[in-house]
Amino acid sequence: MLSSKLDEVIDRGQFTNGPTVKELERELELFTGAKYAIGVGNATEALIIMLRAAGIGPGDEVIVPCFTFFASASSVAHVGAVPVFCDIDPVTYSLKVDEIESKITERTKAIMPVHLFSQMADMVSICKIAKKYNLLVLEDSAEAISMFNNGVHAGLVGQAGVLSFFPTKTLGAMGDAGMIITNDDNIAEHARLLRIHGQEENDLGIHKVVGYNSRMDDIQASVLLGRLKYLQEDIAKRAYLTSLYNKLLADLSQVQIPIIKERRDVANPVYYVYLIEVEQRDDLVTYLSSVGIGTETYYPTPLHIQPCFSYLGYEYGSMPNAELACTRTLGLPLYPDLTEKEVHKVSEEIHRFYGNGVNK
């Protein structure tokens, strides 16, 4: 399947924003239930374009969590707006709902929840706050393909969202690729202009706005079309491996396995990352690396104290949940081809670290 799609792209000779990209957009409209799926170069550009298409610009404020990938906040700065940082819920790692209203000012234009690791943010509460203050909800749903809230796919609960197809994602390409999903006619129309230098696809000589060069490659689209057919199988494998990790690590007091917050509005979790919280995180990372086990640290420095955001005036200590998570969270290997034997090996080495004095 993948080989034949690649052959089609090569034979056609149209490598960016071509028929294969259009096919992927249609397939993901069907998969997510979106009225519009708009392929772009990567998820960071998808965030920037989504924000601009929704009318976010200089002078506006957007509420974002301080514990997330850098692009969640940098995209706000890129459109000239101000990221207003909010602490996180210690279970979902998304926006701390009872703190949001204290962040709202007369300049607030939108709330950007980020759906991290395995579950969606509390979208019912967030949308209720947004409605009360007449704010947009623009979702960083980059990691959240196949996550649902009351039957609505992540990214479509608010006005728009994004998907990332970075190779490590649940649905990953062989390079960079991203997508904007929305049911809003105006956001979709503007996003389509912005992704190709402000031009309409049928009138490439006229630039209606100053846009970007953010075209998805047809080669990446062909890879994604092939992998989309196995997405639910891959999600099921990730869930099984997660349950195995949970069982093997449950006896360690130094390890907190993932906690799924029980909410009736959220469907089953999708494990993009197997995230644990551990004592002596950095020492454990070093040890696991020494025995050939790769890990990912999420996120070593929270966004509110990143040097590039120093002009915003936040201080360490102002976001305690996020700051604690930055010292404790660790992603263990998790991907569909991971074997049970390999999961056992990871568990054995973690037990050895905590039980046999490796950390002394």
Beta strand 160-164 pairing with 178-182: antiparallel
Is 191 in the same domain as 303?
no
| Mean pLDDT, the chain, whole residue set | 93
pLDDT band at 1 (very low <50, low <70, confident <90, very high): low
Q: What does pTM read for this prediction?
A: 0.93
- DSSP structure class, residue 178: E
Which of 179, 213, 228 marks a domain boundary?
A: 228
The per-residue pLDDT for 267 is 66
Show the domain range for 275. 231-355
The per-residue pLDDT for 360 is 41
The per-residue pLDDT for 217 is 92
What is the rounded CA–CA span in Å between residue 302 and residue 335? 26
Is 237 in the same domain as 330?
yes
Of 11-20, 198-207, 302-311, 329-338, minimum mean pLDDT range: 11-20
pLDDT band at 15 (very low <50, low <70, confident <90, very high): low
- Whether the pLDDT of residue 202 is over 90: the answer is no
What is the rounded CA–CA span in Å between residue 40 and residue 16? 10
pLDDT band at 276 (very low <50, low <70, confident <90, very high): very high
pLDDT digits (tens, 9 = 90+) for 347-356: 999 999 998 6
Kindly report the CATH number assigned to the domain that includes residue 304. Answer: 3.90.1150.10
What is the rounded CA–CA span in Å between residue 31 and residue 337? 24
What is the rounded CA–CA span in Å between residue 3 and residue 300? 39
How many domains does the structure of the chain reveal? 2
Q: Rg for the chain (alpha carbons), in Å?
A: 21
Beta strand 136-139 pairing with 160-164: parallel
Tokens of 6: 């690649």
Q: Summarize the confidence of residues 229-252 as an average pLDDT.
A: 96
- Whether the pLDDT of residue 67 is over 90: the answer is yes
The per-residue pLDDT for 13 is 64
What is the rounded CA–CA span in Å between residue 84 and residue 61? 6
What is the rounded CA–CA span in Å between residue 220 and residue 172? 9
The per-residue pLDDT for 199 is 86
Contacts within 8 Å (CB) and 24+ apart, 190-193: 190/52, 190/53, 191/36, 191/38, 191/49, 191/50, 191/53, 191/160, 192/38
Contacts within 8 Å (CB) and 24+ apart, 313-316: 314/66, 314/85
Is 200 in the same domain as 291?
no
Is 217 in the same domain as 309?
no
Kind plus residue range of the DSSP H or E element containing 268:
none
